[in-house]
Amino acid sequence: MTLEYIFLYETVMEPNNIKPLKIVTVRMVCKSAAMLVISICAGFFYQLHSGSKEFGTRGATSFRIMAKNGASDGEERRNNVYFPGERLQCIYSCADKNKFILLSVDDEGDVSVYCPQIGDSSIVLEKGNDVPLVNTILLDGHIGPELYAAIFSEEKLSVVAVRAGIGEQLLAGTPIGKIVINVGHDADARTVFIEKRQKAR
């Protein structure tokens, strides 16, 4: 009886000692697997979110001006002061809004259109970041402030309409530094305000 009892005790107790251990092990594995899945998903969504931010930044429009004299790569003037006879190199970034108009207005109300050089509607730019325009702008001898406006849009715009909006503000006495380029919510207007001065002798 004693041996039989011990045998039965061992056959009964052994599974009872093992089963809870197996259950705990399975639970630990499940928890570890769940934590691993959560970590992978969190990392995936973080990368996806970060990627969308980067795409949004790269997809934005921008416009800046540099002085390009001779064979130099260009000089960016922090004070935006330039001199008659210098050449301006325009640098842009764009994605879907790659229809482009470039014009300037000086303190006498004269409006100059650089893009398009022919016709009345926007030109189509190559998409990219920090792309230099093929042509440079030669500054004339007029001294004083001047506003450059670069207009990016998904659809082509009319130069006449843009000039008319600027003309109305000039007639109302708006200083060129406060002119607003109204081009609608589907377009971006980037402006650079410069001052032309005579070089000191």
Specify the pLDDT at position 185. 79
Sign of torsion, CA 79 99 111 135? positive
Task: Classify residue 90 as exposed, middle or buried by CB count within 10 Å of its CB (0-12, 13-18, 19+).
Answer: buried
pLDDT at 109 over 80: yes
The CATH number of 61-196 is 2.60.40
- pTM of the full structure: 0.69
Question: How do residues 128-146 score in pLDDT, each as one tens digit?
Answer: 999 999 999 999 999 999 9
Residue type at position 126: E
Task: Write down the domain spans for the chain.
Answer: 1-59, 61-196
pLDDT at 13 over 50: no
SS3 label, residue 19 = helix
Average pLDDT of the segment spanning 111-121:
95
pLDDT at 7 over 80: no
Q: Would strands 137-138 and 111-115 be described as parallel, antiparallel, or unpaired?
A: unpaired
SS3 label, residue 143 = coil
Q: Structure tokens of 90?
A: 């325009």
Q: Structure tokens of 82?
A: 């330039």
Work out the angle at residue 95's Cα, subtended by the Cα atoms of residues 91 and 96, and round it to the nearest 5 degrees: 135
Specify the pLDDT at position 94. 97
Beta bridge partners of 131: 92
- Per-residue pLDDT band for 103 (boundaries 50, 70, 90) equals very high
Specify the pLDDT at position 76. 85
Question: How do residues 148-181 score in pLDDT, each as one tens digit?
Answer: 999 999 999 999 999 999 999 999 999 998 999 8
Q: Please spell the DSSP secondary structure of 68-105, one letter per residue.
A: --TT---B--TT-EE-TT-EEEEEEEESS--EEEEEEE
Average pLDDT of the segment spanning 76-105:
94
